[in-house]
Amino acid sequence: MHSNTKSIGQYTFTSTSTSTFCSGMDYTKEEDDKKTSALQATERTIDEDGVGDTFNQVAVLRDIEEALGSPLDSGPQVPAPKPLIIVISGPSGVGKDAVVKRLQEVRKGIHFVVTATTRAKRLGEVDGKDYFFVSKEHFLSLIEKNELLEYATVYGDYKGIPKQQIRDFMSKGYDIVLRVDVQGAATLRAILGNSALFIFLVAESEVALVKRLMDRRTETREKLLLRVSTAREEVKRMIEFDYVAVNAQGQLEKTVNLINSIIDAEKAKVQQRMVEI
């Protein structure tokens, strides 16, 4: 093996004709070729203490790696992003369903949790997509085995979030999205603490919220008043959330882009949220 010793200022490098960057280390041919082609393309002149010399960066890299005893990283030195649990909540009428649906369309690597329920399947509903339809006996066994993240009784039927579904998708690197009402978010906060990301959705104004609810044409005057008064109380709980996003009428893309940015920012943190289910 032919070797060459080169001094530049306070540094001395020994270059060799070996085909790998660092003797005694395991490199794939693909990694070797990648580094070689990239560095040979940028061969430059190093001028130290007034001495000009053309110096092959490949040789320098080989000797640095050999001196370190390990290869140099070829990617960014940042923590690997961890899967998140993202809880999206807010008062009735702020557009939670539309936001979650659009988020699923534009962002890869997220899974919207499907709730398990004991109620009968309605016309047009798909098992495993709209809900997991299970027997009361099966649901009670999940409770007994502590296999539900949270559950409640709604009009005599059980509804709950299976833990295994979350574990399965997080083990594959997916972020988990949960869409819940404000009370449900409070329950999840008590269970998950700061390990999950909580986002609160609001309309652009109370007037806009009332107009949206009226446009549904499903509310009586009394029910409309109840929903608006409930929304006022729920907005007071915004402080329990990590972020707030205004979902203005006709601005769905802007809202989803903001939520995407929030998720990206969370994944860029040095100290990321750690979830154990």
Residue 221 among the catalytic residues? no
Residues of 30-54 as b/e, b for ≥16 C-beta within 10 angstroms? eeeeebbeebeeeeeeeeeeeeeee
Q: What are the angstrom distances between the C-alpha of 164 and each of 85, 139, 275?
A: 14, 13, 14
Question: Could you tell me the two tokens for 4?
Answer: 């060459």
Among the options 62, 189, 227, 273, which is catalytic? 227
**Which of 260, 249, 235 has its CA nearest to residue 90?**
235
The yes-or-no answer on residue 216 being catalytic is yes
For 98, the token pair is 């539309």
The alpha carbons of the chain give a radius of gyration, in whole angstroms, of 28
Amino acid identity, position 123: L
Query: Residue holding tokens 């609160």?
Result: 200
Catalytic residue list contains 122: yes
Query: Annotated active-site positions, please?
Result: 122, 216, 227
